[in-house]
């Protein structure tokens, strides 16, 4: 029997699909090796119960603590060797930066604190990304899945187990736990009752959900800003305006969502508010590239990169790139901050970690390397940069 596919290209229908309780996650079926039973793949009560517990980690006070206290020293430490060298490669730098943050959100300790240990964690992260995006892998998928499975086991032994043991000791001693996903899972094990491999995958999933999407956005925003500067040489100072850099981040994420589609399975026959009928068993594909350029919401010039565009009330400046409804990205405020509202105090504003990291590059005079142009990644069908050399001019 051929599969019925329903493609959604308008903003209003997409919101309706995201909200519908009889539409179940379908995006990661091929990435099960990392994604089986992790939050984004759960449905109904199982999803609600785990989400409710993990939500506590992403409240405004925690986001503020990350942005103001935890992340600035991580950005500085990660950036310093590149500043000393006068150059950097953005794709790698973005992953290193965002992994360092995501490791603390996920609850992956690095007890040795050595560069070699961080390099090994980075290698795990890259394999997990390949596992989660197997559907787009252009090489031998079965061999890659086996490699990722072995990596998960090694990741458990090297990183998860010591992190679990440290937290169990803290629990036994009635001492405070770090604010991270692993601590939440361990303290609520009586309610969640998760097998060990699910705990390992949930931690691995947070590592990659936090790092890969933000790292991809980091490179793309920087690229858009370079192009903006080329086109507007008289506006060179705009890159030192943090609100402008945040708007460029939102506009980049709208035009280039980290995941260009969302997908759901219809569990029953469904009728959307628009009147569109979706038969049970159909796969619903939300085409985010189209949805985020819907002229009914973003106007006639929706295709253009315009960080100063006016956005209607009730519409997020990054469109639906963080999803919506029950699976809406748990880390969106952490990654992209809050949209600035007129009258708000800039000193109180949270800009988000991607804008803050990009800002730091421009504060150090980042420019594309004139002798080494960027290249695309040809190991995947998706449009990722493979290499993006930059230089710093002070």
The smaller minimum CB distance to ligand HEM, of residues 220 and 392, is found at 220
Contacts of 349 (CB under 8 A, 6+ apart): 243, 337, 338, 340
The smaller minimum CB distance to ligand HEM, of residues 27 and 248, is found at 27
Quote the least distance from Cβ 18 to ligand HEM, whole Å.
7
**Cα separation of 105 and 180, whole Å?**
5
Quote the least distance from Cβ 132 to ligand HEM, whole Å.
12
The smaller minimum CB distance to ligand HEM, of residues 88 and 207, is found at 207
**Cα separation of 100 and 119, whole Å?**
11
Quote the least distance from Cβ 43 to ligand HEM, whole Å.
10
The smaller minimum CB distance to ligand HEM, of residues 207 and 238, is found at 207
Quote the least distance from Cβ 15 to ligand HEM, whole Å.
12
Q: Shortest Cβ contact with ligand HEM: which residue? A: 331
Pull the structure tokens for residue 142.
């079965």
Q: What is the DSSP letter of 325?
A: G
8 DSSP β-pair partners: 286
Cα radius of gyration rounded to whole Å, the chain: 21
Quote the least distance from Cβ 11 to ligand HEM, whole Å.
15
Angle among Cα 348, 340, 324 to the nearest 5 degrees reads 115
Instruction: Decide: 293 and 30 in contact? Cβ < 8 Å.
Output: no
**Cα separation of 30 and 41, whole Å?**
12
The smaller minimum CB distance to ligand HEM, of residues 10 and 392, is found at 10
Which residue ranges make up the site for ligand HEM (CB under 6 A)? 25, 27, 39-40, 51, 102, 105, 206, 209-210, 213-214, 217, 253, 258-259, 262, 321-323, 327, 329-331, 334-335, 354
367 DSSP β-pair partners: 391
The smaller minimum CB distance to ligand HEM, of residues 50 and 242, is found at 50
Q: What one-character-per-residue DSSP string does 51-78 give?
A: HHHHHGGGSHHHHHHIIIIIHHHHHHHH
Quote the least distance from Cβ 327 to ligand HEM, whole Å.
3
Quote the least distance from Cβ 188 to ligand HEM, whole Å.
16
- Half-sphere exposure of 52 toward its Cβ, with a 13 Å CA cutoff? 9
For the beta carbon of residue 139, count every other beta carbon within 10 angstroms. Answer: 10
The smaller minimum CB distance to ligand HEM, of residues 17 and 148, is found at 17
């Amino acid at each position: 029997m051929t599969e019925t596919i329903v493609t959604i290209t308008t903003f209003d229908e997409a919101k309706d699909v995201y909200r519908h309780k009889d539409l179940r996650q379908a995006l990661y079926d091929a990435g099960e090796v990392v994604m089986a039973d992790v939050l984004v793949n759960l449905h109904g009560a199982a999803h609600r119960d785990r989400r409710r517990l993990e939500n506590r980690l992403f409240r405004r006070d925690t986001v503020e603590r990350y942005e103001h206290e935890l992340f600035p020293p991580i950005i500085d430490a990660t950036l310093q060797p590149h500043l000393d060298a006068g150059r950097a490669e953005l794709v790698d730098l973005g992953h290193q930066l965002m992994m360092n943050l995501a490791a603390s959100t996920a609850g992956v300790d690095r007890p040795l604190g050595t560069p070699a240990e961080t390099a090994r964690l980075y290698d795990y992260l890259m394999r997990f990304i390949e596992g989660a995006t197997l559907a787009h892998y252009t090489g031998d998928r079965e061999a890659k899945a086996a490699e990722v499975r072995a990596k998960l086991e090694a990741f458990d032994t090297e990183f998860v187990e010591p992190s679990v043991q440290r937290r169990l000791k803290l629990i036994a001693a009635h001492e405070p736990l770090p604010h991270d996903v692993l601590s939440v899972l361990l303290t609520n094990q009586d309610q969640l009752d998760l097998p060990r491999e699910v705990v390992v995958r949930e931690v691995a999933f947070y590592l990659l959900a936090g790092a890969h999407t933000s790292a991809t956005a980091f490179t793309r925003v920087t690229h858009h800003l370079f192009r903006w500067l080329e086109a507007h040489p008289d506006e060179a100072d705009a890159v030192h305006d943090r609100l402008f850099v945040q708007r460029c981040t939102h506009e980049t994420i709208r035009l280039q969502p980290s995941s260009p589609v969302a997908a759901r399975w219809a569990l029953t026959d469904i009728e959307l508010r628009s009147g569109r009928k979706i038969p049970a068993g159909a796969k619903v594909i939300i085409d985010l590239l189209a949805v985020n350029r819907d002229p009914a919401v973003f106007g006639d010039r929706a295709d253009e990169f315009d960080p100063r565009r006016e956005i209607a009330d009730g519409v997020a400046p990054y469109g639906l790139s963080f999803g919506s409804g029950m699976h809406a990205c748990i880390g969106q405020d952490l990654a992209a901050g809050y949209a600035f509202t007129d009258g708000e105090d800039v000193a109180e504003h949270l800009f988000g970690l991607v804008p803050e990291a990009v800002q730091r590059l421009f504060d150090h005079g980042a420019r594309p390397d004139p002798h080494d142009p960027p290249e695309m990644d040809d190991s995947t069908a998706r449009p990722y940069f493979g290499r993006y050399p930059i230089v710093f001019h002070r």
